[in-house]
């Protein structure tokens, strides 16, 4: 007949097993070669350029943006009808193909004065 292990022996075995399990991720990470993360097809939304999109009069710019999954940072309804938002290349292409959209232009700084001579 086998005797049961003592409480001290069971505790020692449990501590050894827990230590081995805790060391596994560290050992596996240290032993594995470092593979860099794959490059994204497009930069992250925070890095996308901001565009100004002009929508046909009478159309709701927020609705047009929402149709393309875009959250505008500004919606214009007075001087022009449109919105501004950071856009991915796919969103730019989709908006340019939309018949409700008059123009899609990358945002920039403009000037009404000529170039200094």
Check which CATH number belongs to the domain holding 52 and give it: 3.30.70.80
Number of structural domains (the chain) is 1
Average pLDDT score, the chain: 77
The reply to whether 114 falls in a domain is: no
The reply to whether 94 falls in a domain is: yes
pLDDT value for 80: 95
3-state secondary structure of 48: coil
| Contact (CB, 8 A) for 13 and 5 | yes
- Centre a 10 Å sphere on the Cβ of residue 88 and count the other Cβ atoms it contains: 18
Question: Which candidate, 43, 48, 112, places its Cα nearest to that of 84?
Answer: 48
* Mean pLDDT score, 4-16: 54
Cα–Cα distance measured from residue 35 to residue 33, given in angstroms and rounded to the nearest whole number: 6
- Top-ranked range on mean pLDDT: pick from 11-15, 49-53, 107-111: 49-53
pLDDT value for 17: 43
Task: Encode pLDDT of 25-72 as tens digits.
Answer: 544 445 455 566 555 555 556 689 999 999 999 999 999 999 999 999
């Amino acid at each position: 007949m086998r005797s049961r292990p003592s409480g001290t022996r069971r505790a020692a075995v449990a501590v050894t097993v827990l230590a081995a399990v805790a060391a596994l991720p560290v050992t596996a990470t240290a032993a594995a070669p470092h593979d860099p993360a794959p490059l994204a097809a497009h930069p992250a939304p925070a890095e996308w350029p901001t565009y100004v999109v002009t929508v046909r009069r009478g159309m709701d710019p927020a609705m047009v943006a929402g149709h393309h999954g875009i959250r505008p940072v500004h919606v214009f309804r007075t001087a022009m009808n449109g919105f501004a938002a950071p856009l991915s290349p796919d969103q730019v292409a989709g908006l340019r193909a939309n018949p409700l959209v008059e123009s899609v232009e990358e945002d920039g700084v403009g000037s009404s004065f000529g170039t200094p001579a």
